[in-house]
Structure 1
Amino acid sequence: MKSMNNLKNNIAANLRYLRTRRRLSQEEVAEQVGVTRQAVAKWENGDSLPDILNCGALADLFDVSLNDLVRYDPEQEGIPIGPKNKHIFGTVTIGERGQIVLPKKARDTLKLQPGDTLVVLGDSDPTTAGIALVSSNTFLQMTGKTIDAFFKGKEDKT
């Protein structure tokens, strides 16, 4: 019975968060899914569960995976549910020589293997500063260049 309660709590928390993030009323969600506002309220309160068809419609409406809508536990993860195919894998610490270790969940989800090459991208604007790692194959497809042509004349500053 505990797993059914976890399921209700997960769905309720995820629906409340996703609806408020989208700035939708319960009535608007109900209209788009084809149910009553009271049904949406019961789902968000954990009083009842949407059926599988409604779960699919809700996942589509909020652009999340069906699995995440139902199973994602924001309390356990420490962050709210994210958009479909977008992940927050946790934090890493930068070592003395600049090295980082990618979390296992990230390596498994993205199917990264030892020897794979990643391109390190950065934004130094103080309002948007950040760093991103992109598979070199994906990066090359996006730019339409070879890795040698892209980095021609640039030195590794390690």
Structure 2
Amino acid sequence: MISENLKNLRLRNKLTQEQVAEQIQVSRQAVAKWEKGESVPDLTSSIALANLFQVTLDNLVHYEDEGLGLDLPPKGKHFFGIVKLGERGQIVIPKKARELFHLQQGDRLIIVGDEERGLAIVPEEQMSQFFSLVKTPLDPPSDS
């Protein structure tokens, strides 16, 4: 997995093996061996690679696209899998997503949509905090 992820990330970022090697201070041959699966980077090099490509260390090492053709996500972005829309419009949010975002039974979620970009699900509490930040008046009240 790490060998494929390294090669894909390098190509996506339009870098040569030599450029990657220079940036993380290893030899080009080391990068070539990692991409071929002949060896694996040590922890220090793995952390440097994750930082270089702005991905999590876990995704660098373990990510598999599972035949979906999805690239390794950048740090802070997640792909939790595919959910199926039920007969009455219900979906089940994957456990990993519920845990990461601390969602619990009974939490209220807001569904927002953009006809060009799709749907988003936002916890009501976060949306309320956002709205309170933008509720400032556009024009200050006049004194006249």
The TM-score normalised by the length of structure 1 is 0.74
Question: What is the number of residues matched between the two proteins?
Answer: 135
Superposed displacement of residue 63, structure 1:
1.0
TM alignment of 1:77-88, pairs within 5 A:
79-88=70-79
Confirm or deny that 1:31 pairs with 2:19.
Answer: no
Q: Of residues 106, 111, 115 in structure 2, which corresponds to 1:120?
A: 111
Partner of residue 71, structure 1: 62
User: Letter of the aligned partner of 2:87 in structure 1?
Assistant: E
Amino acid at match of 1:92: V
Sort the Cα spacing of 1:76 and 1:96 in 2 relative to 1 into closer, same or farther, 3 A: closer
- Residues 33, 87 of structure 1: CA spacing in aligned structure 2 closer, same or farther, 3 A cutoff? same
Moved over 6 A (4+): none
One-letter identity of the residue aligned with 1:97: R
Percent of aligned pairs sharing the same letter: 50
Structure 1 residues 1-150: aligned runs within 5 Å: 10-75=1-66, 79-125=70-116, 129-144=117-132
Structure with larger Rg = 2
Identify unmatched segments of 5+ residues in structure 2.
136-144
Distance 1:122 1:73 in 2: 29
Distance 1:76-1:94 versus aligned 2 partners, 3 A rule? closer
Q: Which has the higher helix share?
A: 1
Q: Give, in angstroms, the shift of residue 130 of structure 1.
A: 0.6
Indicate how the Cα distance of structure 1 residues 107 and 43 shifts in structure 2: closer, same or farther if over 3 A, else same.
Answer: same
In the alignment, structure 1 segments of 5+ residues that lack a partner are 1-9, 150-158
* Aligned-CA RMSD value: 2.3
Q: Go from structure 1 to structure 2 and tell me whether the alpha carbon gap of 1:136 and 1:69 turns closer, same or farther (over 3 Å shift).
A: same
